[in-house]
């Protein structure tokens, strides 16, 4: 039996998904869309009403709140829970009309628009028979990524306030903006947050603890040629485009490329190019679970640059790399309890769990590197960034139960 209020969690979730908060990659503002501010305002009101303390929405739109400790807080670790309020620009997010499917029968789910969610294309449905699912009408995404996380955290906060006998240390809540366009951690004030450990509730399905992400560097390659009118180009033109084409052709293809790798394998990936005869800029990303592999990838780019330069006399090829984020696992190793207690909470509840690695990054990758260990946990999301997105209410409740147990375990730790 869950301590969480099922109906209230569902109502909360339905309320949040109906506020359009699509992140806008073309905007210069922060947050990139007004809807994020609007959802944040509502969350701040709801948190104040349930008597959370220090509730405020900061100038960037982020919402902070604190649930005071039930025990002597002095030596207890401070835990933070984070979820992002924006939704992906990859699918329409305006006028979301959620549809609740009670006790899913295992078959195809027909959406109003004609779209269909089928067990064939979404195998995890097989495990969700009898559960409550929330879909859309098929014209928009749902926004369970990450409003499922937002709703779970808000409902857990409410549950803790209503049940003062549940032991926990000081709990901080942070609802963030613009995660979907790579700016989820830009404005988080870690000094203000002053937490010892954090969890993002932004994972798929149920019972998954994301313990590793890629380590990531970006690379920019500048090709500087010499542009001159084609009529007088003989012996004088140096075409940067030719150098860039050769450079891309020399990148690894059958290994160390995204098209040829999976699991723990890393890669070099060329992802944007702009330019003309005189100058070309090529951007690449370097990814590996082993941070120590990244300099090797940079060296390969430099070797290719040298060889292209010698093939095209007069052409300059300059490789610059910059750090993006680091494997979550590197930083979590400094606080193994961040994972161990999450595991123990699942065990105490008698629920299955899985540790997974992500071939990408999370907000937690950045926060962990900045010194706040932040694994990612499941929040009942499915088919994200799609008009066939859905969320599972039972999995959301389960995620909430896990948090309550996890917070109890943290309250048995000392700083
Ligand atoms: Zn997300």
At 332-346, the pLDDT tens digits run: 999 999 999 999 999
Instruction: Compute, in angstroms, the gap from residue 162 CA to the centroid of ligand 1.
Output: 28
Torsion of CA 52, 96, 83, 106, to 10 degrees: 110
pLDDT at res. 73: 67
CA of 143 from ligand 1 middle (Å) equals: 9
Encode pLDDT of 313-322 as tens digits: 999 999 999 9
Q: How far is the CA of 179 from the centre of ligand 1 (A)?
A: 7
Which residues in the chain are classed under CATH 3.40.630.10? 6-213+327-410
Tell me how far the alpha carbon of residue 342 lies from the centroid of ligand 1, in angstroms.
Answer: 20
Measured between its terminal Cα atoms, the distance across the chain in Å is 31
Q: What is the pLDDT of residue 361?
A: 86
CA of 220 to the centre of ligand 1 (A): 27
Residues 238-257 have a mean pLDDT of 98
Spatial contact of 13 and 396, defined as CB atoms under 8 Å apart: yes
Among the listed residues 24, 155, 179, 202, the single catalytic one is 179
The whole-number average pLDDT for the span 364-387 is: 95
Residue 274, pLDDT score: 97
Distance (Å) from CA 83 to ligand 1 centroid: 8
Fold of 6-213+327-410: Aminopeptidase (3.40.630)
CA of 92 to the centre of ligand 1 (A): 16
Query: Active site includes 112?
Result: no
**pLDDT the model gives residue 75:** 86
pLDDT digits over 206-217, tens only?
999 999 999 999
CATH of 215-324, one of 3.90.320.10, 3.40.50.300, 3.30.70.360, 3.30.230.10: 3.30.70.360
Q: Average pLDDT in the 367-389 region?
A: 96
Q: Is 7 exposed, middle or buried (0-12, 13-18, 19+ CB in 10 A)?
A: exposed
Average pLDDT over residues 296-318: 98
Q: How far is the CA of 203 from the centre of ligand 1 (A)?
A: 7
pLDDT (0 to 100) of residue 362: 85
Q: How confident is the model at residue 161 (pLDDT cuts 50, 70, 90)?
A: very high
pLDDT at 121: 93
Q: Kindly provide the residue ranges of all beta strands, DSSP E only, lying in 14-78, ordered along the sequence.
A: 53-57, 63-67
| Lowest-confidence segment of 148-162, 277-291, 357-371 by average pLDDT | 357-371
What is the maximum span of the chain, computed from C-alpha positions, in angstroms?
Answer: 85
Instruction: Spell out which residues have Cβ within 5 A of ligand 1, the ion.
Output: 145-146, 202
Q: How many CA atoms lie within 13 A of 53 on its CB side?
A: 6
Domain span(s) for CATH 3.30.70.360 in the chain: 215-324
Ligand 1 midpoint to CA 280 (Å):
34
Contacts of 411 (CB under 8 A, 6+ apart): 69, 70, 71, 76, 167, 168, 169
pLDDT digits (tens, 9 = 90+) for 118-129: 999 999 999 999
- pLDDT(292) > 90: yes
Distance, in Å, from the CA atom of 185 to the CA atom of 183, rounded to the nearest integer, reads: 6
| Residue 288 and residue 214 in contact, taking contact as beta carbons nearer than 8 Å | yes
Residue of 86, 202, 217, 405 with catalytic role: 86
What's the order of all strands across the beta sheet hosting 316-325?
267-275, 279-288, 215-224, 316-325
Would residue 179 show up in a list of annotated catalytic residues for this protein? yes
Distance 173 CA to ligand 1 centre (A): 16
DSSP 3-state of 360:
coil
Is the confidence at residue 401, as pLDDT, over 90? yes
Predicted local distance difference test score (pLDDT) of residue 414: 86
Ligand 1 center to residue 236 CA distance, Å? Answer: 51
Summary mean pLDDT of the chain: 96
By percentage, how much of the chain surpasses pLDDT 90?
97
Confidence category of residue 415, pLDDT binned at 50, 70, 90: confident
Say how many Å lie between the CA of residue 296 and the centre of ligand 1.
Answer: 31
Cβ-contact 248, 270 below 8 angstroms: yes
How many whole angstroms from 200 Cα to the centroid of ligand 1? Answer: 9
Question: Above 70 in pLDDT, residue 2?
Answer: yes
Distance of CA 375 from the midpoint of ligand 1 (Å): 13
């Amino acid at each position: 039996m869950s301590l969480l209020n099922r109906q209230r969690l569902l109502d909360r979730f339905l309320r949040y998904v109906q506020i359009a908060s699509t992140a806008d990659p073309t905007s210069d503002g922060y947050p990139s869309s007004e809807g994020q501010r609007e959802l944040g305002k509502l969350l701040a009101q709801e948190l104040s009403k349930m008597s959370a303390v220090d509730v405020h929405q900061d100038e960037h739109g982020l919402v902070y709140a604190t649930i005071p400790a039930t025990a002597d807080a002095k030596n207890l670790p401070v835990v933070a829970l984070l979820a992002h309020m924006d939704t992906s620009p990859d699918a329409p997010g305006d006028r979301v009309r959620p549809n609740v499917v009670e006790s899913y029968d295992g078959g195809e789910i027909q959406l109003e628009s004609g779209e269909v969610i089928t067990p064939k294309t979404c195998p995890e449905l097989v495990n969700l028979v009898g559960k409550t699912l929330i879909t859309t009408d098929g014209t928009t995404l749902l926004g369970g990524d990450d409003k499922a996380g937002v709703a779970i955290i808000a409902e857990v906060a409410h549950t803790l306030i209503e049940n003062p006998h549940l032991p926990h240390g000081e709990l901080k809540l942070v609802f963030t903006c613009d995660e979907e366009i790579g700016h989820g951690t830009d404005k988080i004030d870690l000094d203000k947050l002053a937490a010892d450990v954090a969890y993002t509730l932004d994972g798929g399905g149920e019972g998954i603890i994301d313990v590793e992400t890629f380590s990531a560097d970006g690379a920019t390659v500048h090709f500087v040629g010499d542009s001159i009118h084609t009529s007088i180009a003989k012996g004088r033109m140096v075409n940067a485009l030719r150098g860039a084409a050769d450079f891309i052709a020399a990148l690894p293809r059958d290994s160390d490329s995204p098209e040829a790798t999976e699991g723990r394998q890393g890669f070099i990936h060329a992802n944007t190019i702009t330019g003309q005869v005189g100058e070309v800029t090529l951007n690449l990303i370097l990814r590996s679970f082993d941070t120590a592999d990244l300099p090797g990838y940079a060296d390969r780019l430099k070797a290719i640059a040298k060889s292209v330069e010698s093939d095209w006399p007069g052409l300059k090829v300059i490789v610059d790399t910059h750090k993006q984020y680091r494997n979550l696992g590197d930083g979590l190793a400094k606080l193994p309890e961040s994972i161990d207690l999450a595991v123990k909470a699942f065990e105490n509840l008698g629920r299955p769990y899985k540790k997974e690695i992500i071939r990408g990054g999370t907000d937690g990758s950045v926060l962990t590197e900045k010194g706040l260990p932040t694994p990612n946990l499941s929040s009942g999301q499915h088919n994200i960034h799609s008009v066939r997105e859905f969320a599972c209410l039972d999995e959301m409740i389960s995620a909430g139960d896990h948090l309550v147990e996890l917070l109890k375990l943290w309250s048995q730790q000392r700083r």
